[in-house]
Chains A and B, each alone.
Chain A
Amino acid sequence: MSEVIVFFFAAAIILVGAVGVVVARNPVHSALFLVQTLFGVAIIFLIQDANFLAAVQIMVYAGAIVILFLFVIMLLGVDSAEELDVDPIAGQRPLAVVLGAALLGVGLTVVLVAAKGITGARATAGGEHALDNGLSDVERIGRVLFTEYVFAFEATAALLTIAVIGAVVLTRRAAAADMLPDREPASFELPPLAPAIDEEEEH
């Protein structure tokens, strides 16, 4: 019973956050609503005894990825008062409606088709007795990840290496100009010098 209460609580957090991401006009507010949604998802993980995943959800998504979003929003100068009437991509609004409706349709179909299959059983393998063999969820993940799924794990390492290379290559040109010790940083524009005093002395 308590789990149901927690679930609805978490679901409310998630939905409010998700709607907030879309509705908020200020991109920083959107990012904050996104953090709220991610916290809600972490609570859902906790209900499923997936403690480690909940922690990872917060550490990686809230602690790293949204931080990057915020860096981009704050540091690359996205204007908070952006013109909302002009679409950057032509026809994106009708397309969004169509895609949204399609997604909703697919989601509803899945729920309706799977409704018969919903048993209320726990996601953790072993059902109610998931933790009875004395292993924490972290240890179970460790055992499975590094034996059965070891290939996927090593492939992840390769993927992350590619991500690093991508990040460096994409920022390299900008970085090359940027890395020079700036006498006057290119990104800060200095105003013209104020009239110096010696000009005044002439008249």
Chain B
Amino acid sequence: MILALDPLYLTNIGLAVVLIALLKVVLAFAIVLVAVLFMVWFERKVIADMQHRIGPNIAGPWGLFQTLADGLKLLMKEDLVPEHSNRFVFKLAPFLAIVPAFLTFAIIPIGGNFESKGGSVRIFGYDTYLQVADPPIGILLFLAMSSIAVYGVMLAGWSSGSKFPLLGSVRASAQMVSYEAALGLSVLAVILQTGSLSTHEMVADQAAGGFLGFIPNWNIIVTGFVPFLIFLIAGTAELNRPPFDLVEAEQELVGGFHTEYSSFRFAIFFLAEYLNTINMSAIIVTLFLGGPSGPVLIEGIDWAWGILWFLVKLFVFLFAFVWFRATLPRFRYDQLMDLGWKLLIPLSLGWFLFLAALNIGNDRGWNPGVVVGVTIVGGFAGGALLMAAIRTARTERISQEVDAHG
């Protein structure tokens, strides 16, 4: 038996299988583009509403085609490559931003019947998963791609040969790198429950069982809410979205790393940014909210329910990201780094060990109360140590300050 393999590839790989795989890829690509167009419109409309404005309302019904119009406009704008830029890297950077964003979407299960068919649907007589690829590395692809995305930001800023982009990209890359650690640690909690890296397995694992008949077996509950919260915060920071959008703090850095980009090169960065937002929401749904799993209410169209549940859950987070932007003021850089390194990383590490101890204890028949007690004691000890370290560093810095300035 081969683990975590799309049933499509279990049959003899012939022309039909390859065609179905390609069809899925092309469909995913189209879905992504439409979703991004929609997401930009959605964000503008919701923010407008929150600020008692109307928002885009001219192009198409409710201004739906506004993004399309903007995209076409950008296509026809003059494309400038600054004089002092490193031309090769300047032109390469947008690709390094957009390609990882597209690849991340590949591992997201967007549908499938998880009630009775193990998450697969039937297309042209072949059973397959409704996700572009389900590689064995699963969620690691997302983490790898988010580390590649740093290149796009970093090189864009550096190659522009201009101050604001450089400052923005340095901030951004240090920020993304810092929050990647917290992101990786909070994903571990989910892997503990699933015992697999595959996103499909994660959804299948959450689709099974439940508590009291109506509470779903979602990881947000099973892992105790903390990893979800950490992932949400770290994910927002990884996206460089408000309140962590120091990269493009307009008052300080104009447009941040893409200040010098114009025309469609800018559009590509914009596309990547919104695509990443959609990806992040979808990954949160997959990891913590059971992805497309949910009850099949009408048997005849069982394939539609997975997609429906997925979209409903996705919307919650798309809205949340817009809501954050409309509501929260921007962090200061030191607050951002402190939050990431001094709170999220140790907390997620501690929570991971706690969940692991609970699991092992469960297997060996330990009293969960003892595990919780030991964790609380250990947590307090670690926390006290950390606080002491922070205090030491601060005291030393104050004395340095006094020495230096009298």
A136 touches B404 (CB 8 A): no
Asked whether B92 is an interface residue with its Cβ less than 8 Å from the other chain, the reply is yes
Across the interface, A180 reaches (CB within 8 A) one of B143, B154, B400, namely B400
Residues of B contacting A64 in the complex (Cβ-Cβ under 8 angstroms): 147, 177
Nearest-neighbour CB distance to chain A for B135, whole angstroms, equals 7
Asked whether B401 is an interface residue with its Cβ less than 8 Å from the other chain, the reply is yes
| Further 12 A-B residue pairs, CB within 8 A, beyond A51-B137, A63-B148, A180-B400 | A52-B137, A52-B197, A55-B144, A64-B147, A67-B173, A67-B177, A74-B154, A131-B3, A132-B1, A136-B136, A138-B197, A181-B401
B397 touches A179 (CB 8 A): yes
A131 to B3, CA, bound (A): 8
Residues of B contacting A43 in the complex (Cβ-Cβ under 8 angstroms): none
Q: How many residues of B contact A (CB 8 A)?
A: 35
A51 to B143, CA, bound (A): 14
A67 touches B144 (CB 8 A): no
Asked whether A13 is an interface residue with its Cβ less than 8 Å from the other chain, the reply is no
Interface 1/0 per residue, B1-12 and A, CB below 8 Å: 111100000000
Residues of B contacting A59 in the complex (Cβ-Cβ under 8 angstroms): 140, 143-144, 147
**Nearest B residue to A70, CB-CB:** B154
Interface 1/0 per residue, A49-70 and B, CB below 8 Å: 0011011101100111001001
Residues of B contacting A134 in the complex (Cβ-Cβ under 8 angstroms): 1-3
Q: Would you mind naming 15 contact pairs between A and B with Cβ atoms under 8 Å apart?
A: A28-B89, A32-B92, A51-B135, A52-B136, A55-B140, A55-B143, A59-B143, A62-B144, A63-B144, A64-B147, A75-B170, A132-B1, A138-B136, A179-B397, A180-B400
Q: What are the nearest 4 A-B pairs in CB distance?
A: A63-B147, A55-B140, A58-B144, A55-B137
Asked whether A193 is an interface residue with its Cβ less than 8 Å from the other chain, the reply is no
Q: Say which size band chain A's interface belongs to.
A: 20 to 34
Asked whether A10 is an interface residue with its Cβ less than 8 Å from the other chain, the reply is no
Residues of A contacting B136 in the complex (Cβ-Cβ under 8 angstroms): 51-52, 136-138
Nearest-neighbour CB distance to chain B for A126, whole angstroms, equals 14
Residues of B contacting A181 in the complex (Cβ-Cβ under 8 angstroms): 401
Asked whether B322 is an interface residue with its Cβ less than 8 Å from the other chain, the reply is no
**Contact residues of B between 96 and 155, Cβ < 8 Å to A:** 135-137, 140-141, 143-144, 147-148, 150-151, 154-155
Asked whether A41 is an interface residue with its Cβ less than 8 Å from the other chain, the reply is no
Nearest-neighbour CB distance to chain A for B363, whole angstroms, equals 15
**Nearest A residue to B139, CB-CB:** A55
Residues of A contacting B214 in the complex (Cβ-Cβ under 8 angstroms): none
